[in-house]
Each structure stands twice: as structure tokens, then as C-alpha cells.
A and B are shown apart, each in its own frame.
Chain A
């Protein structure tokens, strides 16, 4: 080792080697992430179509989409979808985590099984949901009729609001395990001493939850919510597989509409403007994430 050449020694200095080792990651991220991000913003300011570079048109595309009721509906539903699904995932995810945090037989198997919706490819499980929610042969309707909760089949995807809520339920189904595992890790890091002290002071379970568990989980909640919201707001797979944005654009979101306008319709500039517009929300969410990650 002592016979190293000066060149190798130089190469091994933290500075040189450091830059060398991050080069592959830098090439991938600069070329296929940072550059496309900027190109996307540029495209949204041009009249580009597939095959034609187009020319700079300023904010024309944004003016067009903001005047378009379909875009306004998509923006509104994206936000509504995100808020409803996040609230559902948070509450059910926390409930599942509290449940799994207790000692019982079959804990490991339960935890492994409960994570399946998160692990399985979304499009494939969305296909199973599409079939489960079939207007004529829905197994969910069959079950609800048997339980005497409804009288006839529900057309889960046939009308605007039914389809919207069906998609929200499926999104909750898919994202709930993420919250559950995140919260489970959080719960396991809370010291048992705190609960013992609270019990000595005569606090009941609910009081202990409100005064100890929830406040200690709050920073984690911010991170989970912000991460999950970013990806729910720009969801594509679930909605595209189940409704394609329909019926009559009722479940259109930013990404499905951007896909339709840019890829199916060839209007790259307009599509890029639609795809770029959720960035406003995402910057706010990113600030939350970065701040809470730094605080920890």
C-alpha cells in the first residue's frame, strides 16, 4: 500500500474521489431529471406539438388552460382527491398502527399482509378494483346486498360523484399501509416510561393518546402527509386504469389531463403547462418536508 503512485494518491484524496463517486449519480440526475424539469417549464411557454418545436408564446398556454372548465375541474378534483384521501389514510393508517403496536399472536404475519396493497403494482390491483366495482357483476354490491345495506347494485363508476368517491377509497386502500408502517415505527420509538408515568397519574387510554402519543407523532405526521400528498396530487396510475378521467371528465386530475392533451392529443406546450401547474402546491409541501426533515 505504501508504494502507491502519486497519481493514485491524488485520486484517492477525499475531494477528488468524492467528486468522482458522485459523478454517475450527477449525470443521471442532471440529464434526465434537472434538465427535463427545466425543459418542461420551457415547453409550457411554447406552442410545441409532437414533431414541431413550436415557438415562444409567453403565458398563452396558462391563459388557455385557466379559461378551460375541464382544467379547472381537474385542478379542483386533484385537490379534493388529495385532501379526502390523505385524511382517510392518516386516520385509518394510525388506527392500524395502534392495532399492530399491541402484542398479539400473528403480529408478523398480519404486518406483512397489511402492507400488500403498497407493494403490489398499482395498475394490476387497480384492475382488480375495476372488476370489483363492475356495474353489473360487482362483488362489493353483492356483499352489501347480502348484508341488507343496499337493495340493488351500485353503479360505482357510472356517475361523477360515485366515481370520485370510489377512486378516493381505492387510493386510501393503496396508501394506508404506508402511513401504518410509518406510524408503527414512530409508536415503537416512544418510551414506555411515559405511559407508565401517565397511568400512575391516573390518565386513561384516550388521555394518554391525546397528551403523549399524538404530540410525539406530530413531526412524523407532517413528513408522512407531505410525502404522500405530493404523490397523490400527481396520481396517474389508479385514475387512468379505473376511469380514464371519466365519466365525462368528472375524475380528471392534473396528470391524466396532461397525458391526454400532450401524448394523445399531441399538444406538448399545453400539456406541459397542465403538468407544471401542481408545482405551486408542491413547493409548499416540499418546504414542509425539508423543514421537518431538518428539525429532526
Chain B
């Protein structure tokens, strides 16, 4: 009996507030799911909006066959993967140089990279637009790859500096005595140990790129070059007519890649997130 009361009080103390947080934090996702599979009629007239009475796949098939959604999806995937690979590579060698080679000025470089991390895209998009036009990069999908690197590289470098700091130096010193070059140490000794840090950096880069909106909105103009977020807000919303079924189907499918990557590597994600505020 006492045990029951104890677990009941624990239940009230933990699970009730947890459920309230859960309702608030997960509501929009639940709503995307419901709307995706409701018929148009049911979207506007229903005895209970939190239930599906007549399920349908029409919104999903319409979205995939009658809009450029698949193209936007492929575009986002390409840009996210390419900018992640570029940024993680560039950041790894930079972080290694800063933390292990200790060349003159490495302290300053690390501080500058940290400052670069806190410059928000909101200040840069107007001058960047003029640069993109001058370089003839406007409306070219791959142009987003180096542009996304501007916010990914500072973040990843900072994350990896914190990670590499904690790798003991004995390993590379032993290799150095054996005559290994710095470059060999970078690839053969440190790289395998740094893999968890690199995974953290890669997941962050991927989700951040997948989330990006402002640059893609300003720098891409033809439908074939848009990303999911930009395509949906600029082409699926026309005037005041909202195709909510299609929009929510697109939102649901658009959320999936970021969420799947995150769920597979949730421990790395959390480690990276806590690491980035701790270091």
C-alpha cells in the first residue's frame, strides 16, 4: 500500500508535468499528422478536430504528383549533405591546426571563429545578396553550399576544438617519436578517435542546413532550385488560399529527414548541444 502511494506521488510529481510539456511541445507535430490524412471536408467541419473520421492519402499523392515538392526535397537533401561534408572536413582540419599545432596566432584565430559563430545570417543576407549577384551565383542551387558553410564552419570548428582538447596527447607523441608526420597523425591517429565528435558536428550541420530559410529564400528564385521550406511557403500558399492538407503533408515529410537523423544519433546530438555551451 505504501509502495502504491509512493509511486502515485512520484507519478503526480513527474508524469503529470511531463505530460503537460509533452502536449505543448508535440502538439504541432501531432497536428501535421492528423491534417495530412484528413479529407478536405473534414478539415473544415468536424465534431472533434483531434480525430480522423475519414482517412485519405489524397493530400500526400497530390503533393507528390501535382507540385514540385519532390524536386524541393531532393534540392534540400543535396544542399544539406554537400554543405555538411564540406563544413565538417574544413572544420576538422582547422580545429586540429588550432588546438594541436599551436601555430603563432592560433589563439586569435580560435577567438575570431567563435565570434563568427555569433554573427546571425540576418545581418549578412543583404550584402551577401549583392555578392551572390556579382559572382553570378544567383539562383544556382550549389551556391547555397559555400553560403551555408559560413554558419556551419564556425559552429563545427568550435565544437571540434572542444572535442579534440580532450584527446590525450600521449598517443600522438608516441607516433611522432616513431617518425610520423603531423599530417599522418591528423589522419591516422586523431581521425579515428575524433569520429564521435565528427558525427556530432555532422548531425548538427545537417539539421541546421535542413532548417535554413532566409538565404535560400533570397538567393533562389526559380521553382526548380527551391528548398522544401522556401517552395512550400512561396508556391503552396497562393494569396489567401491555404491547401492545409497538402501543406501539412509537406511539413510532415519535410520534418522527417531532420528528425530521423536526430533520432538515430540522439546521444551525439545531446552531447554536441551540451558541449557547445560548456566549452
Mutual binders A and B: yes
With an 8 A cutoff between CB atoms, is A129 at the interface? yes
A18 near B106 with CB under 8 A, answer yes
B113 near A29 with CB under 8 A, answer yes
Q: A99-B18, A128-B32 are in contact. Are A185 and B255 (CB under 8 A)?
A: no
Question: How far is B148's CA from A32's CA once the two chains are assembled, in angstroms?
Answer: 10
Which residues on B sit within 8 Å (CB–CB) of A210? Answer: none
Residue of B119, B126, B251 near A258 (CB, 8 A) is B126
Which residues on B sit within 8 Å (CB–CB) of A96? Answer: 21
Q: Which of B32, B242, B248 is the most central at the interface, judged by chain A CB atoms within 10 Å of its CB? A: B32
Which residues on B sit within 8 Å (CB–CB) of A227? Answer: 118, 277
A1 near B179 with CB under 8 A, answer yes
With an 8 A cutoff between CB atoms, is A223 at the interface? yes
Q: Which of A34, A120, A286 is the most central at the interface, judged by chain B CB atoms within 10 Å of its CB? A: A120
The distance from the CB of B129 to the nearest CB of chain A, in whole angstroms, is: 7
Q: Which of A104, A119, A122, A286 is the most central at the interface, judged by chain B CB atoms within 10 Å of its CB? A: A119
Question: How far is B106's CA from A29's CA once the two chains are assembled, in angstroms?
Answer: 16
A-B contact count (CB 8 A): 277
- 8 Å CB contacts to A: which residues of B123-162? 123-131, 146-147, 149-150, 153-154, 157
Question: How far is B250's CA from A220's CA once the two chains are assembled, in angstroms?
Answer: 37
Residue of B nearest to A120 (CB): B255
Residue of B18, B93, B131 near A21 (CB, 8 A) is B93
Q: Chain B: interface residue count, which band?
A: 35 or more
Which residues on B sit within 8 Å (CB–CB) of A279? Answer: 123
B147 near A258 with CB under 8 A, answer no
Question: How far is B233's CA from A241's CA once the two chains are assembled, in angstroms?
Answer: 7
B118 near A230 with CB under 8 A, answer yes
Which residues on A sit within 8 Å (CB–CB) of B121? Answer: 234
With an 8 A cutoff between CB atoms, is B171 at the interface? no
Question: How far is B177's CA from A1's CA once the two chains are assembled, in angstroms?
Answer: 11
B210 near A121 with CB under 8 A, answer yes
Residue of B nearest to A244 (CB): B233
B130 near A39 with CB under 8 A, answer yes
With an 8 A cutoff between CB atoms, is A275 at the interface? yes
Q: A37-B119, A241-B233, A293-B114 are in contact. Are A24 and B90 (CB under 8 A)?
A: yes
Which residues on A sit within 8 Å (CB–CB) of B116? Answer: 29, 33-34
Which residues on B sit within 8 Å (CB–CB) of A108? Answer: 266
B269 near A115 with CB under 8 A, answer yes
- 8 Å CB contacts to B: which residues of A104-124? 104, 108, 110-117, 119-124
The distance from the CB of A56 to the nearest CB of chain B, in whole angstroms, is: 16
Chain B residues in contact with chain A, CB under 8 A? 10, 14-15, 17-18, 21-22, 24-29, 31-32, 35, 43-44, 49-50, 90-91, 93-94, 96-98, 101-104, 106, 109, 111-116, 118-131, 146-147, 149-150, 153-154, 157, 178-183, 186, 207, 210-211, 213-214, 218, 228-229, 232-233, 242, 244, 247-248, 250-251, 254-255, 258-259, 262-263, 266, 269-270, 273-274, 277-279
The 9 lowest CB-CB distance pairs between A and B, nearest first, are A18-B103, A185-B274, A234-B122, A128-B28, A21-B97, A123-B229, A39-B127, A1-B179, A18-B101
Other 14 A-B pairs with CB < 8 A, given A124-B251, A128-B251: A17-B103, A25-B153, A29-B150, A43-B130, A123-B233, A124-B250, A125-B251, A128-B32, A132-B31, A181-B273, A231-B120, A254-B122, A278-B122, A293-B279
